[in-house]
Structure 1
């Protein structure tokens, strides 16, 4: 359900039949969850960004980037510093926008795992949506590692079984073969045609992804891979707002704590559990067993 200024909005015919925007809007209308917007421009911004997430996914699929685990990750040293953990730290003499674009331009120089891939394509989509000037102002000091992301991206897992084009979902493989542990799961973007883009797999249907992951189960296993009822989504409303405040001071923005875990292909939910536990331990707070 879409609410515009607190009132139901159901006019999907504002967008052309068959357009990506119309498919997204219709999906929102059919969802029992409320999608609230203060202005029609805010809704249009989300549609534009979701469309660009899909475009960035397809562009990555067509690029020459490789799937690599953290220990064999690689990047272009002209733009990024490869850390010992397998992350990419932005050089201080290049613009964030140029470094993100280089991943697509010189893609053969890059290799990373699937969670990192999703953060990269989100940055690329945001850059395409808001432009270089704003991106360079708000997304400085980038560090690409697993699900680590800039606070202004506002990335969170949303419990849902109703997915929209542009959502990032996770296919879990609970009985993965330890010899190919990086196939413990697959982060994938839902495309406008109902298929999914997963880095390392390409574009597949949900069943094709599940079938592939099932081939990577340990001998004797009997639990199939499956898709979690959760979607990783950036804060569309916040990103829409920063386009209005072009002069906001970002010098005091506190970056997120980096959680190096060396576990490839994990979900955003799992990364946040690791992060919460580490921060509690740092603050001498005994973590709940439910967070472990």
Structure 2
């Protein structure tokens, strides 16, 4: 269900949207979840963000970035400092937008795991949505490591068996083989045709994702891989802030703590758990 300024909105009332946008709106309308906005511009901004998230996922799929563990992570030293934990720290002498775009433009120089890939996709989608100038104002201290984000990029984590294009879901493989712990799961972007993009996997159906993860279980395993009900999104608060361009550029931003867990392919809720206990 969609509500704008206190009134329900039907897909027929937003015909000025494109095909992909209308598909997203139709699924939002049909969902049991309640989507409420102060204005049609807020709705338009979120729908466009979902579209750009899918575009960024598709661009990563066709790029030459590779999947690897934190110990073997790689980045372009012209834009990033590779930390000893496998994170990418933005160099102070480069623009944040240029550094994010370089991941796609010089993709063969980069290797990272799938949670980091999702955050990169989010940053590029935001960059496409608000432009380079505003992006550089918001995100001056980017550090890419697992699910870590800038304070101006908050995530929403929820559980539902209904997901939308542009959502991030998690394929869980609890009985992963100890020799290949990076197959403990896969973070994947939901695409508009019902397939999923997961870094290191490519674009697959849910059945194909699960089939591959099942092939990576330890001998004698009785717990098959499955698509979890966990959903991760850019939070509504972040979307509102980005839409209104309320940048924290001229005010002090307290940077978030980082948990260097050294575990590839963990879910957003697992990272949140680590943040809460450490």
TM-score of the two chains, using structure 2 as the length reference? 0.96
Q: Which residue of 2 aligns with 1:289?
A: none
Aligned alpha-carbon RMSD (Å) = 1.5
Alignment of 1:84-233 (within 5 A): 84-233=84-233
Flag structure 1 segments of 5+ consecutive residues without an equivalent. 279-292
Q: Which residue of 2 aligns with 1:261?
A: 261
Displacement after TM superposition at 1:240 (Å): 3.5
Displacement after TM superposition at 1:20 (Å): 1.1
Partners of 2:99 and 2:143 lie apart in 1 by 11
Partners of 1:205 and 1:257 lie apart in 2 by 35
1:32–1:83 CA distance, 2 compared to 1 (3 A): same
Alignment of 1:28-67 (within 5 A): 28-67=28-67
1:17–1:142 CA distance, 2 compared to 1 (3 A): closer
Partners of 2:20 and 2:12 lie apart in 1 by 11
Deviation track 1:156-214 (CA, whole Å, cap 9, x = no partner) reads 21221110000000000010000000000000000000000000000000010000000
Aligned residues: 278
Displacement after TM superposition at 1:117 (Å): 0.3
TM-score of the two chains, using structure 1 as the length reference? 0.92
1:215–1:250 CA distance, 2 compared to 1 (3 A): farther
Deviation track 1:238-265 (CA, whole Å, cap 9, x = no partner) reads 3343342456544311111111100000
Q: Do the aligned residues in 2 keep the contact of 1:185 with 1:265 (CA within 8 Å)? A: yes
Partners of 1:159 and 1:228 lie apart in 2 by 9
